[in-house]
Structure 1
Amino acid sequence: MLIIITFFLCHWFLSLFFQTFFLHRYASHKMFKMNIFWERTFYFMTFFFQGSSFLNPRAYAIMHRMHHAYSDTEKDPHSPHFIKDIWGLMMKTKDIYLSYRKFKTEPEPEFRDRYPTWDFVDRFGDLWITRIFFIAFYIAFYIAFAPYWWLYLLLPIHFLMGPIHGAIVNWCGHKYGYSNFDNGDHSKNTLPLDFLMLGELFQNNHHKKPNDVNFAKRWFELDPTYPVIKLMHALRIIKLRKV
């Protein structure tokens, strides 16, 4: 059972790390710069660790910028205040995401920008055969190492890891918790879940200062991703923007 729990936690936190580090803080907000070698490295790692639920960086970034511009209004692509449940939130987000992923909808002028793209990975990662391969790998791993049937209940989370992370952040981060700032929306800081989401649930702090790489603002708040980013900056893997 320890092998399965370890595998699940590794998939959870590695997928989440690259979502917050690459898709959110880099692709969406450009909080730091990196050269093309490191951009492609982290691009591939985002694809690899998200696996069957790989999220296209361009489509993700467009939606996220819309979320900040229209936070908790009817034009927000994923506000929980206009949808009855978290499943409905995921379905609405999926539809808008696919419209940008497949270039069926052109973003408004203020959301057009140079987003990181890699045509090969974008196309390969979006193929059904690729997603099915990852799903088959997760199932095979559980068949090999899961000693109890109830552990198989974790498999759907593996299949939809990226969207599940997004749904938790957008639902809980705009409904439950406390506020340090009056941002004119419903953004919240959701303790104690922030640690499990690597700082992503400091939504109220983040909406106050969307370009600040450290999502924690008070003495008892900790953004676990921030020290990793500082270390990468010190090692010159990335170069932080001055805010």
Structure 2
Amino acid sequence: MYIILFFIAHWFLSLFVQTFFLHRYASHKMFNLNPFWYRFFYILTYVGQGASYLKPKAYAIMHRMHHAFSDTEKDPHSPHFFEDVFQMMWNTRGQYQIFEKDLEQPEPQFRGEYPEWKFIDNIGTSTYSRIGFAILYVVFYAFFATQWWMWLLLPFHFAMGPLHGAVVNWCGHKYGYSNFDNQDKSKNTTPFDFLMLGELFQNNHHKFPNSPNFGKKWFEIDPVYPIMKVMHWCRIIRFRKV
């Protein structure tokens, strides 16, 4: 039971910081944060993603490129140019590392207004940190795993962040229905996206990239949007006018 609870907690915490902080804040600046909450969510992203921490600056650049070149050859992770999801992930990893390590500068249109905290980024992207989190996961499983099949869940913890990105980019541009003609292949995979916290409303999101609510039809529920509204009312975040 502890293993299942731990897996679910890690899945949704990692996914929440990815959609809330990396996607909606770092990439699209849908809301503002004061210095305290900025640092809080930066640290939470590091803890939540753990061994698979994604640098916000690199994530934001890649995601902005994805919107600008959606499902074309310049898209860093369109599923329509790869035989399987593993090839797409490997290609995405290569391009991500270019911006993570600042080996190249992105085009001017993709620069600026992304969060940077070099102290956390240097720790989170270090080999020592990734190995340290991996050891913690293994130790937890060693103490609480009661069935052999539970160990099959362990590898997912090591790559949780990229795994979520792969599911969204592969499924969200291949399977489902479309509300809008965006001149790409983006799809809404499911009308109630609890499993991926609204990220699989890709067709809606590509039509309205700066809207904090990914659901557009009355039956489409984005689970993160109500949380963000409460945060806005509590002055944790402040929505930006679109």
TM range (shorter): over 0.9
SS at match of 1:30: coil
TM-score (norm 2): 0.99
**2:128 and 2:148 mapped to 1: Cα distance?**
27
Listed as ranges, the gaps of 5+ residues in structure 1 are: none
CA RMSD of aligned residues (A): 0.8
CA distance in 2, matches of 1:12, 1:238: 23
The residue aligned with 2:229 is 230
Residues paired across the two proteins, number: 242
Q: 1:81 to 1:193 in 2, by over 3 A?
A: farther
Partners in 1 of 2:46 and 2:90 — Cα distance? Answer: 21
- Corresponding residue SS for 1:182: coil
The runs of 5 or more residues in structure 2 that have no matched partner are none
Shift >6 Å, 4+ stretches: none
> What does residue 63 of structure 2 align with?
64
Q: 1:37 deviation in Å?
A: 1.2
CA distance in 2, matches of 1:46, 1:118: 12
**Which residue does the alignment assign to 1:82?**
81
Deviations 1:37-72 (A, max 9, x none): 111110000000100000000000000000000000
Match of 1:136 in 2: 135
Aligned partner of 1:147 in structure 2 is 146
What are the Cα deviations for residues 147-177 of structure 1, in whole angstroms up to 9, with x where unaligned? 0111101011000000000000000000000
- Corresponding residue for residue 198 of structure 2: 199
Contact 1:77 1:93 in 2 (8 A): yes
Share of identical aligned residues, percent?
64
Change (3 A) 1:160 1:192: farther
Which string of whole-angstrom CA distances, capped at 9 and with x for unpartnered residues, describes residues 78-114 of structure 1?
Answer: 0000111100111011000000010111100111113
**Which stretch shifts more, 137-146 or 189-198?**
189-198
Q: Is the alpha carbon distance of 1:193 and 1:89 closer, same or farther for their aligned partners in structure 2, counting shifts above 3 Å? A: farther
Counterpart in 2 of 1:177?
Answer: 176
Contact 1:193/1:201, CA 8 A, preserved across alignment? no
Q: How does 1:25-40 map to 2 (within 5 A)?
A: 25-40=24-39
CA displacement at 1:187 relative to structure 2? 0.2
Q: Distance in 1 between matches of 2:111 and 2:131?
A: 32
